[in-house]
Amino acid sequence: MNGSEPFAGMRAVITGGGSGIGLAIARRLDAMGAALTLIGRDKARLERAIGELRRTTGHAAIACDVGDAAAVSATLAGLDAQSLPPSLLINNAGGATSAALGETSQELWDETLRTNLTGVFHCIRAVLPGLMRQPYARIVNIASTAGLTGYPNVAAYCAAKHGVVGLTRALALELARTRVTVNAVCPGYTETSLVDDAIASIVGATGRTPGQARETLLRRNPQRRLVAPEEVAATVAWLCLPESQSINGQAISVSGGEVMTG
């Protein structure tokens, strides 16, 4: 194994890989030698993301809605037949819409769980048989501190992310005697478009200025700052290393101390 490129000769599948945390993970794993398959709804965005990477070959962009079981099965099943099948699965696709529970429609609830939780299930189920045949493999689910605690006005998102953490722990035990580990990374408020949406929601609900709304989010982090996507990507990369074999079934908070787990 190449020390500077520990993932050379391995393929990583990253859902929601076209922007934000997903793109930061793509950059990190690309720099560490992995070939990438980026999956998302917007193929043009995925292709632009690939164009920003260090390497120009070995990567692929696939348009797929992770909430669509049939589409995921058809899309990801074919990856196992490639000359370089996946060894790493990073489930990053997700999103949140703010609404008090009493204002959360059935459609909003269903779509939030479909994208953030059911999509993780679909992707794992499609890729797992192939991962089991690799010398070693990793599944890393991007959850959230919302999967470890509660936040007001995002009950559906909290429920979905708690589900991701529960799924992670259950599957880690199922696979504990294999070469596959399963972990979750739980970012706090991160400098992405999701935070922009949160700020806009606070402004709309309270009449505060965007600066004041941003300060509200900063105060949640004991370090008084937003998490950088690159910090989340570094944690994902560490979990994917072969020497991280004993890290299994964990929900790792990347939040400056906002949430402390033992």
pTM of the model: 0.93
pLDDT digits (tens, 9 = 90+) for 189-239: 888 777 777 777 776 767 778 777 778 778 888 888 889 999 999 999 999
What integer pLDDT is reported at residue 205 of this predicted model?
Answer: 66
What integer pLDDT is reported at residue 207 of this predicted model?
Answer: 76
- Strand 11-15, strand 251-254: pairing: unpaired
> Which value, in Å, is the radius of gyration of the alpha carbons in the chain?
18
What integer pLDDT is reported at residue 232 of this predicted model?
Answer: 98
Q: Which CATH architecture describes the domain 11-188+228-250?
A: 3-Layer(aba) Sandwich (3.40)
Cβ atoms of 95 and 65 closer than 8 Å: no
For the chain, what is the mean pLDDT? 92
Sequence ranges of the chain with CATH classification 3.40.50.720: 11-188+228-250
What integer pLDDT is reported at residue 203 of this predicted model?
Answer: 67
Give, for 235, the enclosing helix (H) or strand (E): helix 229-240
What integer pLDDT is reported at residue 115 of this predicted model?
Answer: 96
pLDDT digits (tens, 9 = 90+) for 125-176: 999 999 999 999 999 999 999 999 999 889 999 999 999 999 999 999 999 9
Q: pLDDT higher for 260 or 201? A: 260
Q: Give the catalytic positions in this structure.
A: 157
Classify residue 192 as exposed, middle or buried by CB count within 10 Å of its CB (0-12, 13-18, 19+): buried
